[in-house]
């Protein structure tokens, strides 16, 4: 992935992360995406008697020396995962970090998607992209390999934040592409009810959905020193107000709204994490895919 999408320090820390997914048809509970098919793999499963047609290299020669019988060492084969990166490209995603002009929610979403694609590439998994805006869907079908990474980088850089979240009637192509055992990661501010509804519909259709909220520093801190003009990027509505006077009420209401959103995620079985624009890109990824997360969901 192009270096401007993944900072070098973040790229180095990706080495400790691994994509994880529920694979209920294969495993009980949560964990890494293994299939129960037998063959050459990474984790030992069992021995079985040698059969005609088995490769000689599969024979455990040390066991043969002890037993004078041929046994084949079987392992559990890891099955490729299909990762779908759904990025909210509505107008509110254009909002920037005031202390870091040019670093917007959408820029962070691009970086997050690039990081997860890098993880998928390292694991031999497939990955695809869906950009979501009222102008329609920007689709990159799932694929693997370095060329797919390059295609993804081009599509990410071409994404622009504008308009509203797409209507449900525009989302039909998703159902033809996202399989029952695929992993879906939605990256959004989740301010649009339609974004939450899409996550709920995907989870209700037994797709595994993960959510990453992207928040601005002002939404976390609301540190406006005086009078300020607040503008809704999607509706254009404006409000003039005094920052310090509005701070307590805003933080209380914003916190209540986020708590309700998180409760809905939890009720739907959607793992979720957040990124504030002054944080490193791997903060939510470590929460979702780090060693501790793998242990909790394994």
**Mean local confidence (pLDDT), 2-15:** 86
With a cut of 80, say whether residue 43 has pLDDT above it.
no
Do 67 and 85 lie in a common domain? Answer: no
CA gap 69, 66 in Å, rounded: 8
Q: Is residue 166 part of a domain?
A: yes
With a cut of 80, say whether residue 75 has pLDDT above it.
no
pLDDT of residue 85: 98
Do 265 and 241 lie in a common domain? Answer: yes
Do 57 and 92 lie in a common domain? Answer: no
Q: Please answer whether residues 132 and 86 qualify as being in contact, where contact means their C-beta atoms are separated by less than 8 angstroms.
A: yes
Do 159 and 65 lie in a common domain? Answer: no
Q: Is residue 26 part of a domain?
A: no
Residue 82: closest CA among 38, 31, 109, 116: 116
Cβ-proximal residues to 63 (8 Å cutoff; 6+ apart), any chain: 47, 69, 71, 73
Q: Is residue 25 part of a domain?
A: no
CA 145 to chain centre: 18
With a cut of 90, say whether residue 81 has pLDDT above it.
no
Token output for 259: 């708590």
CA 96 to chain centre: 21
Res. 238 pLDDT band, cuts 50 70 90: confident
Most confident of 3-12, 13-22, 249-258: 249-258
Q: Is residue 53 part of a domain?
A: yes
Do 247 and 282 lie in a common domain? Answer: yes
CA gap 133, 166 in Å, rounded: 5
Res. 32 pLDDT band, cuts 50 70 90: very low
Q: What percent of the chain has pLDDT over 70?
A: 82
Do 168 and 276 lie in a common domain? Answer: yes
Token output for 41: 């793999």
Do 58 and 202 lie in a common domain? Answer: no
Do 154 and 54 lie in a common domain? Answer: no
**Mean local confidence (pLDDT), 22-29:** 42
CA gap 88, 130 in Å, rounded: 9
Res. 27 pLDDT band, cuts 50 70 90: very low
Do 122 and 45 lie in a common domain? Answer: no
pLDDT tens digits for range 182-210: 999 999 999 999 999 999 999 999 899 99
Q: Is residue 27 part of a domain?
A: no
Domain containing 66 equals 34-78
pLDDT of residue 70: 83
Do 145 and 49 lie in a common domain? Answer: no
pLDDT tens digits for range 148-167: 999 999 999 999 999 999 99
| Position with higher pLDDT, 112 vs 98 | 112
With a cut of 60, say whether residue 177 has pLDDT above it.
yes
**Mean local confidence (pLDDT), 13-32:** 62
Our count of domains for the chain comes to: 2
């Amino acid at each position: 992935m192009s270096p401007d999408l993944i900072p070098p320090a973040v790229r180095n820390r990706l080495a400790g992360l691994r994509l994880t997914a529920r694979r209920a048809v294969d495993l009980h509970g949560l964990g890494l995406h293994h299939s129960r098919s037998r063959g050459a793999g990474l984790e030992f499963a069992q021995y079985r008697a040698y059969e005609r047609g088995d490769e000689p290299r599969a024979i455990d020669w040390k066991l043969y020396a002890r037993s004078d019988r041929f046994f084949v060492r079987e392992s559990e084969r890891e099955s490729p995962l299909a990762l779908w990166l759904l990025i909210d490209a509505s107008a509110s995603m254009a909002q920037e970090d005031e202390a870091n002009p040019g670093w917007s929610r959408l820029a962070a979403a691009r970086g997050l998607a690039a990081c997860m694609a890098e993880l998928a590439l390292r694991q031999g998994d497939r990955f695809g992209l869906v950009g979501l805006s009222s102008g329609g869907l920007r689709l990159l079908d799932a694929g693997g390999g370095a060329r797919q990474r390059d295609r993804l980088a081009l599509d990410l850089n071409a994404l622009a934040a504008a308009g509203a979240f797409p209507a449900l009637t525009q989302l039909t192509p998703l159902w033809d592409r996202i399989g029952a055992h695929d992993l879906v990661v939605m990256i959004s501010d989740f301010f649009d009810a339609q974004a939450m509804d899409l996550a709920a519909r995907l989870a209700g259709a037994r797709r595994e959905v993960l959510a990453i909220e992207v928040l601005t520093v002002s939404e976390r801190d609301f540190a406006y020193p005086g009078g300020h003009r607040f503008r809704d990027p999607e509706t254009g509505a404006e409000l003039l107000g005094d920052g310090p006077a509005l701070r307590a009420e805003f933080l209380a209401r914003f916190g209540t709204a986020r708590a309700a959103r998180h409760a809905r995620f939890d009720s739907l079985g959607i793992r979720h994490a957040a990124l504030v624009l002054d944080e490193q890109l791997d903060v939510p990824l470590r929460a979702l895919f780090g060693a501790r997360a793998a242990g909790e969901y394994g």
